[in-house]
Amino acid sequence: MSETVRLTPKEMTDLSLKVLSHVGYGPDHARAIAELLTTCQMDDCQSHGLFRLFMCAQTMQAGKIDGHAQPQVAASDNAIVRVDAQGGMSLLAFQKGLPRLVEKTRTHGIAAMAIKRCFHFSALWPEVEALSAKGLAAMAMVPSHSWVAPAGGTRGSLGTNPLAFSWPRLGQDPFTFDFATSAFARGEIELYKRAGKRLPEGVAIDKDGNPTTDPQAALDGAMLTFGGYKGSALSIMIELLAGPLIDDLTSLESMEFAQGTGGAPYHGDIIIAFDPDQFSGARRQANDARAERLFADILDQGARLPSQRRFAARARNTTRGYAEVSAQLHRDLLALLD
């Protein structure tokens, strides 16, 4: 078994703040990022936990991000919240726009937040769960870099293009899913490379368009969408909704913007929130019961709901007061402070 280190939430946050401040992020961005990474790590979400500090450092080293940018929330009289991240990370922009999004959703029944000009590296489930914690259903989606080949293609045109959704449940963890439309998340491939493991069949092609299970060949080539043409079509939809619809970049354009410098992709983020009270015609209690009947029927078959394992990890780690991380990862993160 690999050697691990036990870290409390405070130790995770403190380590993240030290690394982020050391590489050039201002206190507001550092705090927003550190809180997100700690949240993901406490859920044993390894690919989007402390491991992502490397991408944060690489993004700063690439010289394109503003670690001190203050997001601007535009005034509007409709159901759209427009937030300009000003070339900073998306997390602070999301925090700034969230209260306005909740307010507009309660007013109109449905509202959307478009975050523009942001660098994005993080999981989307914290965004949608921030809304389901307010009793709202929500979905979120982003493009990335053009690392993913369309179905039948031989090179990257699409991003990993994750889609997340969260449904509030009274007194219980929400129904949440968050998955990339690529067959594998980019971060998972990087973790496989660090561990010296081969990839499963059918998730990537090399630079010549041939199937590969070599993580490095996959990183040099292209990833594949899940579900063939269905995943490819869904990925293209996300490119459109989180790109041209909100006047921001596609994954191809994000890759061009990076100019080979590495780090987090630069694009937009769209979050759509729904008020069940208004959509159900003031019959929320009855309709919540119908949703719960569906969940119960799924569980009764021995199936599980998305995020069940993540919620179980959260409960376990919260009870014992720490999460375990790879000792090698911990050493590598400390080296960022040198």
- List active site positions: 47-48, 188
Query: Beta-carbon neighbour count of residue 297 at 10 Å?
Result: 10
Contact 68, 99 (CB under 8 A): no
H-type alpha helices, the chain? 9-23, 27-42, 53-61, 90-108, 125-132, 186-195, 215-220, 229-241, 251-258, 276-279, 284-300, 308-320, 327-335
Longest CA span, the chain: 58
Closest to 167 in 3D by CA, of 48, 316, 290: 290
List phi, psi (to 5°) of 31.
Answer: -65, -45
Q: Are 132 and 141 in contact (CB under 8 A)?
A: no
Say how far apart CA 79 and CA 150 lie, in whole Å.
Answer: 33
Residue 140, helix vs strand vs coil = strand
